[in-house]
Amino acid sequence: MSARQSKSQNARSARRAPGHGEGEKAVTQTRTESGASTSRSAASGDPGGVASARGFGAFLDSAAQEIVAATYWFDPAPQPKPYRVTIRFTGHRIGSGNNTRPEDQFARDETVEVIPGSGPVSVTARVSGVSPGEWAVRAKAVNPSHEHRRSQKLTSIRPITGPLYPAAWSWRTWSLSPGPAAPVRTRLRPFVRVPGLIPGGWAVLSVLGIAIALATQALLVTRDSLRVDHAFTISLIAIAAGAVGAKTWYAVLQRRTRRMNGWCIQGLLVGVLLALAASVPVAHTPLGVFLDASAPGLLLGMALGRVGCLFGGCCCGRPTPSRWGIWSSDQRVGTRRYPTQLLEAGLAAALGAAALATVLVAGPANGGIFVAALAAYTLGRQGVLRLRAERRKTLIGPRLTAITAAVILTAAVLLPLVV
């Protein structure tokens, strides 16, 4: 057998879904961003879901592909410290018959870290590279090895309490419940249903936030005798520049992984500021007055956008056993977490309301209200970021950002009093 033939045969063998006695051989190991080990069958074709799409073209192709998405949940067993649990998902397409192709079955392991006391945990497996249709999916906990139990000091062989359940979600009680063992239909990735998330929720609330920002700005611009049509045109340019800045900033931060599915609020603010600096003088609009009139709406709109992050499963907090946590999902793992999206939304809403009251009572301050509001938001946000799930690469950057924001905030507040 030639080397090329041998390589082709090995590739075909790797795509074979696990059958009788060969489940362990058909599962390959990958690595998640958080460092937790996950596994997937070769048929899944996407170790990290849309988050690991390579390039913008691959991201669009991924969004247009039907996938199998199944969610199961369990009650963690009491343990003295955080530990990992591996859930094995297996599935086959209903109606595939005896002539089963690799695309008609899969096996995938999802390993998650459990924080003791954080309540029920749901795990969502997304499997791509499969045939469209209805699927029968099952899940079970994989018992840890003896060495694994010793390394994590587990007090039980099976680190979950009771069986795994198909996940059903109640918005009324904001909790998980056992769902029916019904077939799972393939869906386009943007319309996958995950407990605690709303497909398209982030986009809807972001658009609503933009509408509220423009309406608030129009109210204040009219009050300051500026032309609403000029302000609206400038704002549309700023929104477009902010979207480009948010995507570009995210792409730069993720240049090693080449991820394209995220946005960064820092890039949004930079894009907006650059667009305003370039377009406001052209429209012969007083820059300071325009900025102060825009600050309340900008912050109120950002507050709604952060609520959208909660329902979109992004910008999540770390899992916590604290009673101040709320159950939420990062699109893959649902558990009790620090409510970082709501904390940041509350911060933006409070500052937006304060800026609105200041503009209405005292009038514009030649841009001082805008600068003070954004500096206060940046300063407060550094505390919220400490609770986020993603690890911060360095402590120098956040500290420098906080110090700079504090200095700017102090100057913006004290300078009008001195001058």
Q: Which residue has the higher pLDDT, 20 or 119?
A: 119
The predicted structure's pLDDT at residue 81: 86
Asked if residue 374 has pLDDT above 70, the reply is yes
- Reported pTM: 0.79
b/e code 20-31 from CB counts within 10 Å (16+ = b) = eeeeeebbeeee
> What span, in angstroms and rounded, lies between the C-alpha atoms of 257 and 252?
10
- Residue 317 pairs in a beta bridge with 388
The predicted structure's pLDDT at residue 277: 83
Asked if residue 22 has pLDDT above 50, the reply is no
Tokens 């993720």 belong to residue: 254
Residue 248's pLDDT band, with cuts at 50, 70 and 90, is confident
The predicted structure's pLDDT at residue 8: 45
The percentage of residues in the chain with a pLDDT greater than 90, rounded to a whole number, is 50
DSSP three-state, residue 394? coil
As a dihedral over the C-alpha atoms of residue 410, residue 413, residue 414, residue 419, rounded to 10 degrees, the angle is 140
> What span, in angstroms and rounded, lies between the C-alpha atoms of 161 and 200?
34
- Provide mean pLDDT across the span 32-58: 42
Q: What is the pLDDT of residues 322-358, one digit of tens each?
A: 999 999 999 999 999 999 999 999 999 999 999 999 9
Of 15-19, 160-164, 198-202, the poorest mean pLDDT is in 15-19
Which segments of 29-165 does DSSP mark as H helices, in order? 55-63, 146-152
> What span, in angstroms and rounded, lies between the C-alpha atoms of 230 and 280?
9
The predicted structure's pLDDT at residue 348: 97
